[in-house]
Amino acid sequence: MKIVLAQLNYHIGNFESNQSKIIESIHKAKAQGADLVVFSELSIAGYPPRDFLEFDDFVARCQIAVYQIAQHCRGIAAIVGAPSLNTGDKGKRLFNTAWLLSEGKISAQVHKTLLPTYDIFDEYRYFEPNTAFNIIEFAGKRIALTICEDLWNVDDIPMYSVNPMDELVPQHPDLIINIAASPFHYNQAKIREEVLRKNALRYQLPIYYVNHVGAQTELLFDGGSLAMNSKGEITHRLQYFEEDTLLIDTDVIAIALKAGSPSKMALIHDALVMGIRNYFFKLGFKKAVLGLSGGIDSALTLVLAVSALGKENVDVILMPSQYSSDHSITDAQDLVNNLGIKSSLIPIQSIYHSFENALQSLFDGLPFSLAEENIQARIRGVLLMAYCNKFGHILLNTSNKSEAAVGYGTLYGDMNGGISVLGDVYKTEVFELARYINQKQLIIPTNTITKPPSAELRPDQKDSDSLPEYAELDAILFAYIEQFKGPEEIIELGFKRETVNRVLKMVNISEHKRYQTPPILRISPKAFGMGRRMPIVAKYLS
């Protein structure tokens, strides 16, 4: 049997575009002599459709698209993902379904059994789990058709009480097809491949795996669809972060690919560039703006944005205050020159003095404090948002994960933005990513990378005045946020009790700030946002 793996970038609720892409791929696959073309999980709706699934109209449009696509499946079959109605008298009203389309009709449906409800997933909110297990017979092959999580219950301590493949194996399948929407983080490709390998070895079956690619707001999908033989060896792999298709003859013995995958920084870089590009394109926006301070966060954000949107579509505004150092202004201008883009300059000192004068009667006799520092950040936020409103641009937020974690940012100031580019990138990783970008060509000025980080909101200010050194801070944050370690466990790693308690308190009392931040592009196993749900008015560690 000849199978085409079709790894496409879908747009949630854009039925015309999704349907058009699927139909075009079906015709191309047929021209290649394929028997079957396979698309990813919920390909017709786009993943995750979330509460759109509460609307009868949305579900009806998905089903109409399925039947229209089926009309193009003559002389070739297709597997597509879409919700289907639960016609039983119990349970949720929908299934997450893989539809086999052939000879102009629906030939079979397979519902997803294991519905993840952790981290960014909330599928049991919408779908009823499958309880009937049947092999699909097609083109002389017995296919075990599964959907994403259905292959993930292979750990030594299973998360679910049922394993779909254990139910299907007694029916003697020849191969496994898995359609998926597996979101990216920098370790996910290795984890995913190991999960598939465990299945191949456990059931002694080849696997044909199709993943979603593209960005859906904060969720990034890396693709990396693949074929794996019964020995657990990858024989074919599609591109990361790009649409791709591949024709595979299941009856031809393929040579295992050599091991090797992109570096962590390469993955993060490509994921963020794709995330920015898709966010703008899918929202119908073209141009971005950001405030360039001369610091590393805004510099890195600018470089990523230019890679994603093109230098003609990124506007830069420099807004120095009386506390901005000369080298920050020159570093920012050097970056602008290196990228070949234009910038605008709006000094904010006089604007700040206007605020100072307006507040004089209220602040009279009180010393300079955080209030005055934040006024500067909010002036910049107002100017940037005014520019966005006037010209219809989207503001890029430049805060990093370390700052977001401990609340080192100003609400309605530097925390403004339509999308947070670096909100899941720790400060130490920001430096790594900047050095990665500079490997081939010096783009980000060396001084921007080597100088001590500073918000420059008061004389001679450095981040280290308010925070532990970033290497220490990020290690504590990683242990707490990604590894779920409590204070005693973190102290046992070698950190001072006073520092650990102080950092964890800063994290937990800053939850109200993170509730008001823009969507954060997710590149780690545990990002702020929809995958990390914490109460605001809680006492724990605060």
Beta-carbon contacts of residue 176 (< 8 Å; ≥ 6 apart): 143, 144, 146, 151, 165, 199, 200, 203, 205, 206, 207, 208
**Residue 28 to residue 59: CA distance in whole angstroms:** 28
In b/e form, how buried is each residue of 313-334, taking b as 16+ CB within 10 angstroms? bbbbbbbbbebbeeebbebbbb
The answer to whether residue 73 is catalytic is no
The residue from 2, 30, 41, 373 that is catalytic is 41
Taking alpha carbons only, the member of 345, 439, 434 closest to residue 383 is 345
The residue from 148, 149, 218, 282 that is catalytic is 148
The residue from 21, 112, 401, 485 that is catalytic is 112
Where does 168-263 show beta strands of DSSP type E? 175-180, 207-211, 213-216, 219-222, 226-228, 234-237, 244-249
**Residue 305 to residue 324: CA distance in whole angstroms:** 24
Q: Positive or negative CA dihedral for 201, 205, 208, 209?
A: negative
Radius of gyration of the chain (CA): 26
Q: CA end-to-end span of the chain, whole Å? A: 60
- Confirm if 136 and 121 have CB atoms less than 8 A apart: no
The answer to whether residue 388 is catalytic is no
Identity of the amino acid at 404: A
The answer to whether residue 427 is catalytic is no
Write out the catalytic residue numbers: 41, 112, 148
